[in-house]
Structure 1
Amino acid sequence: MIDAVGNPQSLFVLGGTSDIALATAQKYAEQQPLRIILADRPEESERMAAAVELLRKTGSTVSTLTFDARKPETHAEVIDKAFADGDIDITLVAFGIQGDNEKGWTEVGAARAVAEINYVAPMTLGVLLAEKLRKQGHGRLAVMSSPAGERARRSNFVYGSSKAGLDVFYTGLAYALSESGVTVTVVRPNFVRTKLTEGMKPAPMAQTPEQVAAAIVDGVRKGKELIYVPGQMRLVMAVLNHLPRPIFRKLPF
């Protein structure tokens, strides 16, 4: 159970080797050692081992699970294993791919990869997690979304479409779980300097994984259903979302 000052005793991370996920796990572990479960692809075994070693230095207990977003037939087993040793206080859904936008709208395989990893997998996992969390009667679920899902942009509309689906599903899940003792936090960070965005030109107000992690920990503790990182992005997106289409299409992104 989460203690009186908001510190969890357990953390489950899907996409456990992502820069934001690891920074978030570190942030929680620095506040108080806890039981951490990291789940990620077998291809990330080296990064996983490094993450485990780093987090164990905080005094936390760390275990790992093999997880593949594109194998939905295995997702129920992964969730069952994560909850096998007891309740989970906080779950973070933090995996995803950027994809090549030009391939995404011209090659079926590229389009399917973005849709399956960024939307289909988080949705199916959300259904499974909701069942577990409702049964235990408490818990907090956070998911990485993006402002890109709010309005189509020429440069990243394939990625944005997948995040739009994820965002709507988890926003609705927050409503559905509101009377069960479970909270859902949708996180919309601006450009973050991670391995996912390596080689891309940083956008204004670009963030570090540590800045996003701090916002996640604070937002989850306060039970917020939606957070922007940085907070100013809420105002930026409010303006962009109300621009007339002819003007919006001329903007350089």
Structure 2
Amino acid sequence: MPVKDALALPQSLLVLGGTSEIGLATARRLITRGARTVWLAGRPSPALEQAAESLRALGADTRTVDFDALDPASHETALGKVFAEDAIDLVLLAFGVLGDQAHDERAPLRAVHVAQTNYTGAVSAGLVAASALQAQSHGALVVLSATAAERARRVDFIYGSSKAGLDTFAQGLGDALYGTGVRVMVVRPGFVRTRATADRPREPFATTPAAVATAIELGLRRGAETVWVPGVLRLVTAALRHAPRALFRRLPF
């Protein structure tokens, strides 16, 4: 049975970005809390199948669906397959790329790839998912943003600007869906220690996929609209957001 209590934990979920470490950590945590059906959406690959097998080993009915963030024209068909088979309590928008700021500045097409994945693809998938959730009159859309969305930094303004667009979009979508039975929760992690960031210098307030998953669960339980991971970043980014630009430029990041 689908969960229609807005603050209940989901019994079924769809992870857009099926090999995402944060997405899989969240799926594992929710499975231990009673989730029984998991869809992993991503490009067909051994990694996607291995991810599905790892969740099946935990007892979840786990299936995969072909999904390409860079092919918006296919999103309605891909997500439609999922919603045609199951009522989905939670859609987790977990795909994205970091890019490489130093190289991407000199290669505009690489910068565009970051923007198209993190923003354009997310807008398309988010709208399709929201429409499907609204048609069933319940569910939650959890969007992985980033603290980098709060203010552009010299070291990652291409990635940060793409997440800023996504963050604003998700907030607006949440307002548009208010009162429909569907809610949107924006999650803003700081630096997350994953395979993708293994070769990057560790930043202050670094976190892990497991910690983000814990925060997502708590946010769902509380009916939160915005979640910071770790929570102290809410205060840190508020201070940085209001710092004079001349001072901000002199900060070591």
TM-score interval w.r.t. the shorter chain?
over 0.9
SS at match of 1:92: strand
24-33 vs 102-111, which moves further: 102-111
Structure 1 residues 140-151: aligned runs within 5 Å = 140-151=140-151
TM-score after normalising by structure 2: 0.96
Q: 1:33 Cα shift?
A: 4.3
- Mapped contact 2:4–2:139 kept (Cα < 8 A): no
Q: 1:182 Cα shift?
A: 0.7
Which residue pairs with 2:34 in the alignment? 32
- Identify unmatched segments of 5+ residues in structure 1: none
Structure 1 residues 236-251: aligned runs within 5 Å = 236-251=236-251
Which residue pairs with 2:230 in the alignment? 230
Q: 1:130 Cα shift?
A: 1.6
Q: Which runs of 4+ in 1 moved over 4 A?
A: none
Which residue pairs with 1:137 in the alignment? 137
SS at match of 2:14: strand
- Mapped contact 1:147–1:188 kept (Cα < 8 A): yes
- Identify unmatched segments of 5+ residues in structure 2: none
Which residue pairs with 1:21 in the alignment? 23
1:32-70 per-position Cα deviation (integer Å, ceiling 9, x unaligned): 24110001122xx22222211211122110000111111
Q: 1:104 Cα shift?
A: 2.5
Which residue pairs with 1:122 in the alignment? 122
The AA in structure 2 aligned to 1:2 is V
TM-score after normalising by structure 1: 0.96
Q: 1:157 Cα shift?
A: 0.2
1:62-91 per-position Cα deviation (integer Å, ceiling 9, x unaligned): 000111111111111111011011211000
Aligned length: 251
Which residue pairs with 2:187 in the alignment? 187
Q: 1:19 Cα shift?
A: 0.6
1:188-244 per-position Cα deviation (integer Å, ceiling 9, x unaligned): 001000122120011111111100101011112222111100000000001111111
Which residue pairs with 2:49 in the alignment? 49
SS at match of 2:63: strand
RMSD across aligned C-alpha pairs, in angstroms?
1.3
Q: 1:3 Cα shift?
A: 7.0
Which residue pairs with 1:2 in the alignment? 3
- Mapped contact 1:33–1:58 kept (Cα < 8 A): no
The AA in structure 2 aligned to 1:126 is G
Inter-partner Cα distance in structure 2 for 1:38 and 1:222: 25
SS at match of 2:40: strand
The AA in structure 1 aligned to 2:30 is Y
Identity across the alignment (%):
47
